[in-house]
Amino acid sequence: MRTESINRPDGLPLTFEHLVQINDLTNPTITDLSRAQLWRGLVMRVTEPTQFLPWLDAVTIEGDLIQGMHRHLDFGSYQVDDTVSFVEEQEIRFDIVDAENGATFSLIMQIEEPEPEALFVRFRYSAHSVDHHADSPLGYAMREAYKFNDEDMIFRIRLFAENGILDPVLH
């Protein structure tokens, strides 16, 4: 009986973090976001991912903001199942585990406010797969790609806020 060899990750996970400034209290040309607007934008990234990932073909979501969500993301030939948990107006955590090949991925988006209205989002990554590990020669490029994607997400959240999309819904 012939079995296919499965590539399993070696070494330590690729871990990194970076901080994105949301409000610059010294620059009046940048429109400030409220913590509530920022939170709604980050939640929108979870509940409406096609607004942020145009190459995403479809998404199925089960759950809610209280109990957490399970999502199935369809990128055509590539499928991802993740679990998302929330700490209200503070943190969103994404976890992916691929039991078949031992790959794991987590992202924590955490709102920080060192002084009133001085908002930041800290992004913490941990990825462990054949391509994502501490010794990967592609590590720098992967970190830069994730950073670019996060900055693009914040740019889109700003646009949504400027267009009133992140304003509270009044009933």
pLDDT (0 to 100) of residue 16: 93
Domain locations in the chain? Answer: 14-47+84-162
- Is residue 22 within 8 A of residue 154, CB to CB? The reply is yes
Q: What is the DSSP string of 9-66?
A: --SS-EEEEEEEE---TT-TTSPPPPHHHHHHHHHHHHH-GGGT-TT--EEEEEEETT
- The residues, ordered by sequence, that sit 6+ positions from 89 with a Cβ below 8 Å of its Cβ are 35, 36, 39, 111
H or E element in which residue 151 lies = helix 139-162
SS3 content of the chain, % helix, strand, coil (to 5): 25, 35, 45
What value does the CA radius of gyration of the chain take, rounded to a whole number of Å?
Answer: 18
Percent of the chain past pLDDT 90, that is, above it, reads 65
pLDDT in tens, 15-46: 899 999 999 888 888 889 999 999 999 999 99
How confident is the model over 57-88, as pLDDT tens digits? 999 999 999 999 999 999 998 888 999 999 99
- Structure confidence at residue 47 as a pLDDT band (50, 70, 90): very high
Architecture of domain 14-47+84-162: 2-Layer Sandwich (3.30)
Output b/e per residue, 44-60; b: 16+ Cβ within 10 A.
Answer: bbbeeeebbbeeeeebe
pLDDT of residue 14: 84
Q: Which of 22, 3, 45, 1 is nearest to 117 (CA)?
A: 22
Evaluate if residue 7 carries a pLDDT over 70: no
**Does 150 have pLDDT greater than 80?**
yes
